[in-house]
Amino acid sequence: MSLHVQTAQAGTPRQRGEGLRVGAVRLLPRGVSKRDYARKNYFDVWLPTLAPSRPLLSRILKSGMPVTAFFQHYRKEMESTGPRQVIKLLAEIAKRTPITVCCYCDDETRCHRSVLLKLIRKANQSH
């Protein structure tokens, strides 16, 4: 069964048919009221469980960790029970309705959301 899942940069205009925006970010947007997260196109639901941990974010920002190493560490974090179950839930939801995974990064190729998209698709194949 195909999934209706894609990614977008949080805060960018919504595209037709993208469905529920899921914020896979560790920190909430600064200066934005909670009631405005959806209205300003950040996300409809915040799932910090799917964001890189604070220590990992700190390491990549301070040390300039190569993106391949960052992705490897992020995948490892997503193997723990909480994130793994949320990924499975998103895969099930995406079978029925479109979802869009969001993060603040402007370059998806260097962003964890590109890895998360693959993990959601993989979770669908494991059933």
Domain count, the chain: 1
Residue span of the structural domain in which 62 resides: 5-125
Instruction: Tell me the one-letter amino acid at 77.
Output: E
- Give the mean pLDDT per block of 10 residues along the chain (127 residues): 92 95 95 94 97 92 88 97 97 96 94 96 83
pLDDT attached to residue 121 = 95
Report the C-alpha gap between 77 and 56 in whole angstroms.
Answer: 9
Rounded distance between C-alpha atoms, residue 103 and residue 45, angstroms: 12
Measured CA angle at 109 (ends 75, 20), to 5 deg: 75
